[in-house]
Structure 1
Amino acid sequence: MALLAVACDWARDHGRPLLALTVDHGLDRDSARWTAFAREAARAAGADWRGLSWTGPKPAAGLPAAARAARHRLIADAARDAGARVVLFAHTAGDVAEGELMRTAGSSLGRLRDWSPSPAWPEGRGLMLLRPMLDVGRAELRAWLKGQGSGWVDDPANDDPRYARARARASLLPSGEGGARAVRRGRMRGYGASSPGAVSPHPPARRSASGPLPLPMGEGYFSIDRAVSARTLAAALVCAGGGDRPPRGDRLQRLLTRLEAGETFTATLCGARLDAGPDQVLVIREPGEFIRRPAPPLLLAPGVETVWDGRWSFTAAEPGWGVAPAAGRMAALSRADRGRLNDLPSAARGGRPVLIRNGAAAPVLADAAVTARSLVEERLALALDRMTHEMELEPRAHGATPRNHLFSGTDLGE
């Protein structure tokens, strides 16, 4: 409710449209009433509003994580439908403290950052999350709302000791430092108009990286230095693999140890393959998965952007096209296409997508009727904080040279 108030003020001041989203998880008998409350509050504040619902069966175990993942997917889809590139979340200093406490107890919950990519993939591609209230205490926010004459809804699940988040919250003393002061200070911390219709989020200065950045090779794979940091290696692996879960714990640390020791080896993790040779270390898509688990080509609906393997997007101008991995199909390519594939490292060839027309046996690497775009490089740039301005998220016209965000701007943060 506090974020709604300050965001609406900011949107009016800068002539920007604002869409408020409410997710009904279907987990509480009062959820419909809460959704109606949110709808009326958003519209009274001057924002457009849309309700979203998490339908279908709910898991018996791991419910908070499943609800969080579903929420992010729904929000990402709604934001993309609305043409938005930035979503605001109202996490507070209390959420940060609870997360830190949960991690000390063994949780793999990620850390909240003020500016970060959407964790939903591929639904959240190109979408950033902004949390402008991370230095705001929950108690002072409530006091500020009371002073504004605004109400709010308390979800009883936040006090249910069956959930780790509720136990962490109960074990922490109420924290209100900085709340009302942060709301008064510029209303939307870190936001200002840089030009008509443009918004500039300015996150804190990044700390220096403990290792060099990956070098994009232009076909969805990377060359990395053996001194790579854990965070950078994890991001490179999950992006090259096309999945949505970064590696954690001992498996990632073992790779880092072997790299630092100068070993020559091949390892797979997160659907990616790490080839550590004497002269170069490559991170690519593991092509063996396509052979072990073959699948029919993914059909492309005309005019609809379709994501294949979490790594490439395709938009066909006409019906009849499908996309599949080159693995198992390379011999059927034309001589020219095979020559182009041969320019890639041998291990990277099988993971390259090919186009198939009306189920024909002869695939092609490209066709004028289908627009193809690798998502891997931009996703890695977002994950490593190389896009710190909303204007950098703007889609480019087909054929325009993309900016190399991995080698521009501030130092990479940890």
Structure 2
Amino acid sequence: MSSTVPARSDPPWLDRVRDRLTARLESGSDRPLALALSGGGDSLALLAVACGWARDNGRRVLALTVDHGLVPDSARWTAFARDAARRAGADWQGLSWVGRKPDTGLPAAARAARHRLIAEAARQAGARVILFAHTAGDVAEGERMRAEGSSLGRLRDWSPSPAWPEGRGLMLLRPMLDVARAELRDWLSQKGADWIDDPANTDPKYARSRARASLAANAPYSSPATAGASGPLPAPVAPGTLAFDRGISTRALAAVLVCAGGGDRPPRGDRLERIVQRLRSGEAFTASLSGARVIAGDQVLVTREAGEFTRRPRPPLPLPPGIETVWDGRWAITAVEPGWNVVAAAGHMATLSRDDRARLNALPAPVRGAWPVLIRNDPGAPVLAGSVATARSLVEERLALALDRMTHETELEPRAHGATPRNHLFSGADIDE
């Protein structure tokens, strides 16, 4: 009489992760689903789940591995990730962080480089969503690091790429934030899979390694607490310039400031809280933060701080014809012919044509100096983008992503030439913290 070994049932977390992929991602799309693959246990588990989901839903997965060049084994680890991706049925691309590495702040610099390289490759491949394998352990470690004074941002399951402008239009999906690392490794072990253990994860000279060592292996996941009140969504005053209610939440104000300022580091700390307090008090004031100017009077406006262009003049940015070029982190400009550069209007307004001056003067006064104007390589008067180039503000779409106005991959469709995009940001809904 023969006996059979009962089949192992799937762990409970597996269905949760699959359900999150289904809730956020499009089925049957010809766009690849990008996935950050380090070769560690977390990313290999996500690779296996994502490839299974993709097969069932008519998608293909593009695994992206960054070789930071920081350890002698990095090339071997990259080859390991490549082979694992191909065995799982994914396409694979290797990326390298080249150039001089900083003497201080190496983990943050490596993280930024990784996001930038992955975002560039994902955009080039046509992806709109990148999967990251952060777990409950990453959430708990981040909370511990913040408690010890770190300014590290909180992980969310669905959030914009932090690489700017390389990650414009890209969302990150982290479907395993409530899964413990031990659960993932148990599952991989049952499948007979192997993974890489990076010694840096246990090196006490790094803050994350110290946080990891101080936490229990199965740290429970809890949704990070958020501060501030909700309020009406910002309303457009001019491209890149927003008006909003004084009851705006701290999180929403931080997003407005970084988007309007065109930078890549959201404001945190006392200066941000001070502006929130002044708004709540009803005070009339002007303040600058993160490259943006807050003008609080009868209404509250946020626009680019034009004074930065006169205090720290920048050289003109060349515009290769037919290629979308991001200027000042706020505008995507495509020239239709060679020989054009873009600069801020500050210092050039008097030399614009009468018609262009009239167009610029129709904007609120604080907006004008930071407006893009085009100049030629050869002498000639500057012009506003029109017949010689197309220009669109990136501020509104970026803010819509940051404020969770686009919750599904199908809402991230690229803007067709000449088409009016869906207005996700200015729908009249409320910002919920």
The one of 48, 54, 67 aligned to 2:110: 67
Establish whether residue 313 from structure 1 lines up as the match of residue 332 from structure 2. yes
Which residues of 2 match residues 36-55 of structure 1 at below 5 A?
A: 36-55=79-98
Establish whether residue 143 from structure 1 lines up as the match of residue 186 from structure 2. yes
RMSD of the alignment, in Å?
1.9
Letter in 1 for 2:128: R
The one of 87, 107, 110 aligned to 2:153: 110
Establish whether residue 173 from structure 1 lines up as the match of residue 173 from structure 2. no
Which residues of 2 match residues 302-341 of structure 1 at below 5 A?
A: 302-341=321-360
TM-superposed CA distance for 1:409, in Å, is: 8.9
Which residues of 2 match residues 10-49 of structure 1 at below 5 A?
A: 10-49=53-92
Residue in structure 2 matched with residue 292 of structure 1 by the alignment = 311
Letter in 2 for 1:355: L
TM-superposed CA distance for 1:295, in Å, is: 2.4
Q: Which secondary structure state, in structure 2, belongs to the residue aligned with residue 258 of structure 1? A: helix
Aligned partners of 1:144 and 1:298: how far apart in 2?
A: 51
Deviation digits for residues 61-96 of structure 1, max 9, x if unmatched?
111111100100000001011111100000011111
TM-superposed CA distance for 1:273, in Å, is: 0.7
Residue in structure 2 matched with residue 405 of structure 1 by the alignment = 424
Aligned partners of 1:276 and 1:221: how far apart in 2?
A: 13
| TM-score w.r.t. length of structure 1 | 0.90
TM-superposed CA distance for 1:381, in Å, is: 0.6
Q: Which secondary structure state, in structure 2, belongs to the residue aligned with residue 102 of structure 1? A: helix
Aligned partners of 1:301 and 1:208: how far apart in 2?
A: 43
TM-superposed CA distance for 1:376, in Å, is: 0.5
Aligned partners of 1:407 and 1:286: how far apart in 2?
A: 23
Residue in structure 1 matched with residue 34 of structure 2 by the alignment = none
Farther off after superposition, 259-268 or 125-134: 259-268
TM-superposed CA distance for 1:211, in Å, is: 2.3
TM-superposed CA distance for 1:177, in Å, is: 7.1
TM-superposed CA distance for 1:410, in Å, is: 6.7
TM-superposed CA distance for 1:327, in Å, is: 0.7
Deviation digits for residues 210-248 of structure 1, max 9, x if unmatched?
222211223211112111111111111111110011111
Deviation digits for residues 245-304 of structure 1, max 9, x if unmatched?
111110011111111111111111111111112x11110101111111222321111221
Aligned partners of 2:344 and 2:70: how far apart in 1?
A: 40
Evaluate the alpha carbon distance shift between residue 334 and residue 409 of structure 1 in structure 2; reply closer, same or farther with a 3 A threshold.
Answer: closer
TM-superposed CA distance for 1:316, in Å, is: 1.6
Aligned partners of 1:326 and 1:113: how far apart in 2?
A: 38
Residue in structure 1 matched with residue 255 of structure 2 by the alignment = 235
| TM-score w.r.t. length of structure 2 | 0.86
Evaluate the alpha carbon distance shift between residue 359 and residue 309 of structure 1 in structure 2; reply closer, same or farther with a 3 A threshold.
Answer: farther
The one of 283, 286, 298 aligned to 1:263: 283
Unpaired stretches in structure 2, ≥5 consecutive residues: 1-43
Q: Which secondary structure state, in structure 1, belongs to the residue aligned with residue 209 of structure 2? A: helix
Deviation digits for residues 126-174 of structure 1, max 9, x if unmatched?
0100001111110011000011111110100000001110011001111
CA contact (8 A) 1:267 1:273 kept: yes
Aligned partners of 1:100 and 1:334: how far apart in 2?
A: 55
Q: Which secondary structure state, in structure 1, belongs to the residue aligned with residue 322 of structure 2? A: coil
CA contact (8 A) 1:101 1:168 kept: yes
Aligned partners of 1:6 and 1:168: how far apart in 2?
A: 28
TM-superposed CA distance for 1:413, in Å, is: 3.4
Letter in 2 for 1:346: A
Aligned partners of 2:422 and 2:369: how far apart in 1?
A: 27
Letter in 2 for 1:357: R
The one of 204, 211, 222 aligned to 2:242: 222
Percent identical among aligned pairs is 74
Aligned partners of 1:407 and 1:276: how far apart in 2?
A: 20
Q: Which secondary structure state, in structure 2, belongs to the residue aligned with residue 328 of structure 1? A: coil
Evaluate the alpha carbon distance shift between residue 364 and residue 345 of structure 1 in structure 2; reply closer, same or farther with a 3 A threshold.
Answer: same
CA contact (8 A) 2:228 2:249 kept: no
Aligned partners of 1:76 and 1:265: how far apart in 2?
A: 38
Deviation digits for residues 354-380 of structure 1, max 9, x if unmatched?
112334331111232312111000001
Q: Which secondary structure state, in structure 1, belongs to the residue aligned with residue 152 of structure 2? A: coil
Aligned partners of 2:136 and 2:429: how far apart in 1?
A: 26
